[in-house]
Structure 1
Amino acid sequence: MSEFKRIPPEQAQALREQGAVVVDIRDPHAYAAGHIDGAQHLDNHSISDFIRAADLDKPTVVVCYHGNSSQSAAAYLIGQGFSDVYSLDGGFELWRNTYPAETATSSAE
């Protein structure tokens, strides 16, 4: 079984440009206030649908606040059969400081 990899925002951006899936596991209000452009919000309610519909071999970048919780979520995805999973070091906070133009907001559901 493979393991997830921890990557900096620059590497995550390169993967994103190559079509990687970006998933954000922060709470819905934080996600709505700002997230990586194109990121999907995942929570305990949506994760099983995401896994069922996902291409398990497509690169997947997991994002949280500061890069801690995303490691557990990345390990979980590996355990569910994903083969190419990354945890964003520094989380959304570092991403926002590195790529402010690559963030988006949305209305909370």
Structure 2
Amino acid sequence: MDQYSCISTAQALELLKKDATVADIRDQQSFVAGHMPHAVNVNNDNLHQFMQDADMDKPLLVCCYHGISSQSAAQFLVQQGFDEVYSVNGGFEAWRVDFPDQCEK
């Protein structure tokens, strides 16, 4: 995959069921208040470690607040060698509305 794809929250849920990795790029306070299941809070301080630890062959979902900044982050991660990268349309706000029972704290 040379480019990321934008996907719906429903598609993201299906990928989560198949063991996708979730990179949540929101600030730590927002992440602690709630996030997608098994998400990792990724920021400038831990980006290098995240890329070293992540399985680049697994699907990677990138989540932000509303699905805007996750697009540039997703493109960056594609350029770093991740095979299958997705930006979640609507971000965590859409996820929280669509799947309130699928939010972790």
| TM-score, normalised relative to structure 1 | 0.94
For 2:45, what is the secondary structure of its paired residue?
coil
For 1:66, what is the secondary structure of its paired residue?
coil
Q: Which moved more, 1:73-82 or 1:48-57?
A: 48-57
Question: How far did residue 53 of structure 1 move?
Answer: 1.6
- Rounded Cα–Cα distance in structure 1 between residues aligned with 2:40 and 2:53: 13
- Rounded Cα–Cα distance in structure 1 between residues aligned with 2:61 and 2:37: 13
**Unaligned 5+ residue runs, structure 1?**
none
- Rounded Cα–Cα distance in structure 2 between residues aligned with 1:21 and 1:82: 11
Moved over 6 A (4+): none
Q: Which residue of 1 aligns with 2:23?
A: 23
**Unaligned 5+ residue runs, structure 2?**
none
Question: How far did residue 72 of structure 1 move?
Answer: 0.6
Query: Pairwise CA RMSD of aligned residues?
Result: 0.8
- Rounded Cα–Cα distance in structure 2 between residues aligned with 1:45 and 1:31: 15
How many residues end up aligned between the 2 structures?
105
Q: Which residue of 1 aligns with 2:7?
A: 7
